[in-house]
Amino acid sequence: MSNLIRRNSFFDDFITKDLFDFATPRFQKTDFTLPSVNVKEHEAGFEIQVAAPGIKKEDFKINLERNVLTISSERQSENEEKDNNGAFTRREFNYSSFSRSFTLPEVVEADRIEASYEDGILKIDVPKKEVTMQNVKTIEIK
């Protein structure tokens, strides 16, 4: 009876340990994830804060097209290690990118949007248009 219950060790190792071992990563982890974003609305406009430490301000790209504000970043790096003879021993490539888009309301003044980067936080100030009541006309009731 024990022969019927016995399992093939190849099957055990390949199927149960590899496929169902969720604690062991199968791919190399990257150091880059989608950054967190805070959006604050105040009386004069909006402030968008992107938490992106370790990214240079030159790596950011901010576009505004048809009231859609897109914040993106793309980085590539290559690390090569050689032995004393100059022969190729190991080469690593790293590529990371992200993109976040926000649909801005009609009350935004697109020409005055400004961005700054300090201490790992990208801040984008999106001012609102001033709403004037000059076009309000009082209609007399007869």
Over the stretch 66-107, which tens digit does the pLDDT of each residue have? 999 999 998 877 777 777 776 667 777 777 888 999 999 989
Average pLDDT over residues 10-17: 47
Per-residue tokens: 35: 């950054």
Cα–Cα nearest to 76, from 93, 55, 100: 93
pLDDT category, 112, cuts 50, 70, 90? very high
Q: Any idea what DSSP says for residue 89?
A: E
What separation in angstroms does the CA of 107 have from each of 41, 43, 67, 125, 131?
12, 12, 10, 14, 9
What is the average pLDDT value for the chain, to the nearest integer?
A: 78
In the chain, what are the domains? 28-127 (2.60.40.790)
